[in-house]
């Protein structure tokens, strides 16, 4: 059986759980041995990254590397389009999530951990998220963007969207969601792998935000 090293709060771990569930794969989940960043965990996973997957002799970290491995090792149901240009667009969406939208969200975490921040700091951070959501809306309008099947490129987004709502709600700094992104989000929520993850993750996110912001 597949083993997933993961933690409750990590959205990259949530991304990988959505992938594994959508593939219908059984997996066992464990927290990192000795805690995140521990030497004991790095003995198993040299990068110390979460998530990490163990499949037989293979120990693999990084959610993108894991996703591509799973797609190749377990091709059914497919989570990449057939057409080359659409496949490239699925990868683009995934990288956009990991390297653009998620870092914009991550900029809000220190503000929450500090129990709040100045109006300027909050505005700057939420403007960053809003700008990325507007870019995502335009990317979704691209006729080559895959929108008729859940792909590897979609798995990271649902939990990131939920984190944005939880944090911006807690900071009382509402985000303007582009209509196209809202529609995309609603479509993602029709997949059981997504709803199962959100049901578990939502109270954890909300609890973390409330523990800092009240």
Ligand X SMILES: N[C@@H](CCC(=O)N[C@@H](CS)C(=O)NCC(=O)O)C(=O)O
Residues near ligand X, by CB under 6 A: 10, 12, 36-37, 48-51, 62-64, 98
- For ligand X, which is the closer residue by CB, 22 or 178? 22
Q: Least Å distance between CB 207 and ligand X?
A: 17
User: Among residues 94, 8, 90, 80, which one has the least CA distance to residue 51?
Assistant: 8
**Do the beta carbons of residue 110 and residue 171 sit within 8 Å?**
no
- For ligand X, which is the closer residue by CB, 61 or 86? 61
Three-state DSSP class for 53? strand
Paired residues of 5 in beta bridges: 30, 52
Q: Least Å distance between CB 36 and ligand X?
A: 6
Three-state DSSP class for 142? coil
In angstroms, how far apart are the furthest CA atoms of the chain?
Answer: 50
Q: Least Å distance between CB 196 and ligand X?
A: 20
Q: Least Å distance between CB 153 and ligand X?
A: 13
Paired residues of 3 in beta bridges: 28, 54
Q: HSE (CB half, 13 Å, CA atoms) of 188?
A: 26
- For ligand X, which is the closer residue by CB, 50 or 178? 50
Three-state DSSP class for 202? helix
- For ligand X, which is the closer residue by CB, 25 or 144? 25
- For ligand X, which is the closer residue by CB, 34 or 37? 37
Q: Least Å distance between CB 64 and ligand X?
A: 6
**Do the beta carbons of residue 135 and residue 100 sit within 8 Å?**
yes
């Amino acid at each position: 059986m597949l083993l997933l090293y993961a933690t409750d709060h990590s959205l990259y771990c949530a991304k990988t759980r959505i992938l594994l569930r959508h593939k219908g794969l059984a997996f066992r989940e464990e927290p990192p041995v000795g805690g995140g960043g521990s030497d004991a965990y790095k003995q198993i996973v040299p990068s110390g990254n979460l998530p990490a997957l163990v499949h037989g002799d293979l120990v693999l970290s990084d959610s993108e590397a894991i996703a591509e491995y799973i797609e190749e090792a377990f091709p059914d149901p497919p989570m990449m389009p057939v057409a080359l240009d659409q496949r490239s667009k699925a990868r683009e969406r995934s990288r956009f999530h990991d390297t653009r939208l998620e870092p914009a969200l991550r900029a809000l975490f220190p503000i929450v951990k500090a129990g709040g921040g100045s109006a300027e700091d909050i505005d700057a951070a939420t403007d960053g998220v809003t700008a990325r959501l507007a870019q995502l809306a335009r990317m979704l309008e691209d006729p080559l963007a895959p929108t008729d099947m859940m792909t590897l490129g979609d798995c990271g987004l649902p939990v990131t969207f939920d984190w944005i709502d939880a944090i911006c709600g807690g900071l009382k700094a509402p985000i303007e969601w582009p209509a196209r992104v809202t529609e995309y989000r609603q479509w993602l929520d029709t997949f059981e792998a997504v709803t199962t993850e959100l049901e578990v993750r939502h109270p954890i996110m909300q609890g973390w935000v409330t523990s800092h912001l009240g």
